[in-house]
Structure 1
Amino acid sequence: MASPVIDCTPFGKELRALASRLPRVPREDLYGFLEEAKTLSAELPGEIADALDSFNAQGNHDGYLLLRGLPVDDSELPVTPTSTPAPLDRPLLVMEAMLALAGRRLGLHTGYQELRSGTVYHDVYPSPGAHYLSSETSETTLEFHTEMAYHVLQPNYVMLSCSRADHERRAETQVGSVRKALELLDDATRARLHERPMPCCVDVAFRGGVPDPGAIALVKPLYGPAEDPYLGYDRELLAPDDPRDQEAVAALSKALDDVTTSVKLTPGDLLIIDNFRTTHARTPFTPRWDGKDRWLHRVYIRTDRNGQLSGGERAGDVVAFSPRR
């Protein structure tokens, strides 16, 4: 079985050259920036381009692709952010450029109106007192979740690039693949979970200012082709009310735990998570608040799968929330 890790260190010079041809202030004209990234993505080194195209076409058993050894230099970075969104005039960072080039090879960068002020590029960094469901939490586990499984326009890919790791290199991004977990489920459990809508709560950003609106969405834990289904799972938010559904979801949860793979993101890593066939989590770490804390960059990518696109969309579009029913 092919490794999900691609060593990009031999292509550092080529990748820096591509990044240098992108507009220097991406947020000044994000549509234009991402269009140029699409053009330049055709010039990605062959090994990287082939890996991205293959992953986009059929995924893999692990549920993720890791581009390792991309060009990044801590001496070129500003301090780790302490607020969001990023200033509109912030110059392009190399790991943001890598997200643009690889992401446009896959599909369309998308912002979500209710999330991070509707921005497309997200800085992910520790924040004091962050909500336990937020990516800005650090000293508690961010539990397994399929990103926005409750959203009609759920992204196909979650992309995370790393400019800085946590100081102790403790933080792990954990990925549970449904293709692996399915092998541990009996036929009755699989049948119970497949194409069965279950109540699901939503993240804080999508609650419309209501502290707890309850389970306002319906999510199918398994859906699509029965022999190779997609996954909709959130350990904190999926809330089945039928005891038989609870039992089936518990079995799925255990299977996902049993097949979990952990990735410690280091500077120069770009992790692409297949958000239709995985759930992911992050283990705790301890920030120092010294300007050098863990700093990731995140984008969401939509493709033409599962009704994500209806025609006329552009990379850089921002979409409004609509819960699955």
Structure 2
Amino acid sequence: MPSSIIDCAPYQAELLALASTLPTVPRADLYAFFEDAKRLAERLPQELRDGLDDFNAHGNADGYLLLRGLPVEPDDELPATPASSPAPADRQLLNMEAMLCVVGGGLGLLTAYDQGYGNRRSITVLHELYPTPEAHPLSGSTSKTQLEFHTDLSHHAHQPNYILLSCSRGDHEGKAATLVGSIRKALPLLSDEVRDQLFEGKFTLRYDATDPEATVRTRPLYGDRSDPYVSFNRSCVSAETPQDVAALSALSTALTDVIEPVLLTRGDLLIIDNFRIAHGRAPFTARWDGKDRWLHRAYVRTDRNGQLSGGERAGDVVPFAARR
């Protein structure tokens, strides 16, 4: 399986030249912007293109691919870290937004989701993650508490294949590591009996903390029994029988035992295989000084596991459909 880290520093000038051909105001016409980004993905440096293709086809044991040394503006040329969402429609393209969209276009379709939370979250392809003072503890905007292990949108029938996180600014103290637990590493730690229970037991995922009726049935392991996908949310999944409770606990312990911290710094882009990992984030201290941690996030769908039915475009909004 391919390496989990690619050093992109030797290609910075080439990547900047590619980014300079993109529209300078991406949100003016996102469909057109994503089409341009997808075309540029074919012109990525060969080592990077090959690494993306290998990861897309086979994944790896770590469950992620980390691109380091991508071109990012000098910190004093970046806008202040946002304090509200969504981003202004007229904001000029940032380098790490460009890298996010070109790489995402090389993997599949950049996609927006109605996540089933009513209107409490903006429905957009290009998300931004930054600390907010009163963030919910299950939100990516929290900073004071650890963001617990979860699979993104595991309650959604068309759960994204990949989560992309690109970093314009890291946190001040270098503590906000993304915590990655790969099922390919955790699976050998689970007995055959536990694996069977995780495939066949009855588990419930509550996906909206404000609505006790917002639940779906879930299977923590599914797909190929020898190389399964994982669907896990430490804070929101419950079990009904003692055997299921024990199996879920064993999975939680196994994923914890194989945690790998990945600290994102300026110019990093992390591609998370959302079918193969559960992830979280270590706590950190925000300063609210305009220089706090600032990530750009996007979801990518591929043709795996029923995500696409035909005719979809990058930039589409996927209506909410509960997993069954």
TM-score normalised by length of structure 2: 0.96
Match of 1:154 in 2: 159
- Deviation of residue 77 (structure 1)? 0.8
Match of 2:148 in 1: 143
Equivalent residues of 2:100, 2:166 under 8 A apart: yes
Equivalent residues of 1:95, 1:163 under 8 A apart: yes
Residues of 2 paired with 1:27 and 1:197: CA distance? 43
In structure 1, give the amino acid aligned to 2:238: A
- Deviation of residue 196 (structure 1)? 4.0
- Deviation of residue 201 (structure 1)? 0.5
In structure 2, give the amino acid aligned to 1:274: D
- Deviation of residue 75 (structure 1)? 2.6
- Deviation of residue 243 (structure 1)? 1.3
Match of 2:40 in 1: 40
Q: SS in structure 2 opposite 1:239?
A: strand
- Deviation of residue 163 (structure 1)? 0.3
Match of 1:3 in 2: 3
1:247-286 matches, within 5 Å, as: 247-286=246-285
Match of 1:76 in 2: 77
Equivalent residues of 1:215, 1:239 under 8 A apart: no
Equivalent residues of 1:201, 1:238 under 8 A apart: yes
Equivalent residues of 1:69, 1:269 under 8 A apart: yes
Q: SS in structure 2 opposite 1:36?
A: helix
Match of 1:208 in 2: none
1:59-138 matches, within 5 Å, as: 59-73=59-73, 74-114=75-115, 116-138=121-143
1:184-195 matches, within 5 Å, as: 184-195=189-200
- Tell me the alpha carbon deviations over residues 259-294 of structure 1, each in whole angstroms, 9 at most, x when there is no partner: 111101000000000000100000101111000000
1:201-280 matches, within 5 Å, as: 201-204=206-209, 211-214=210-213, 216-280=215-279
- Deviation of residue 197 (structure 1)? 4.6
Equivalent residues of 1:197, 1:221 under 8 A apart: no
Identity among equivalent positions (%) equals: 61
Residues of 1 paired with 2:132 and 2:76: CA distance? 23
- Deviation of residue 2 (structure 1)? 4.6
Equivalent residues of 2:112, 2:318 under 8 A apart: yes
- Deviation of residue 72 (structure 1)? 0.7
Residues of 2 paired with 1:154 and 1:316: CA distance? 15
Residues of 2 paired with 1:49 and 1:239: CA distance? 41
Q: SS in structure 2 opposite 1:236?
A: coil
Query: CA RMSD, aligned part only?
Result: 1.2
Residues of 2 paired with 1:157 and 1:195: CA distance? 25
Equivalent residues of 2:62, 2:185 under 8 A apart: yes
Match of 1:165 in 2: 170
- Deviation of residue 240 (structure 1)? 1.1
Residues of 2 paired with 1:102 and 1:91: CA distance? 19
- Deviation of residue 212 (structure 1)? 2.6
Q: 1:133 to 1:91 in 2, by over 3 A?
A: same
Unmatched 5+ stretches in structure 1: 205-210
Equivalent residues of 2:202, 2:240 under 8 A apart: no
Aligned residues: 319
- Tell me the alpha carbon deviations over residues 119-157 of structure 1, each in whole angstroms, 9 at most, x when there is no partner: 110110000110011100000010000111111011000
- Tell me the alpha carbon deviations over residues 4-61 of structure 1, each in whole angstroms, 9 at most, x when there is no partner: 0110000000000000001111110000000001111100001110010000001000
Q: SS in structure 1 opposite 2:122?
A: helix
Residues of 1 paired with 2:145 and 2:160: CA distance? 25
In structure 1, give the amino acid aligned to 2:85: T
Q: 1:181 to 1:284 in 2, by over 3 A?
A: same
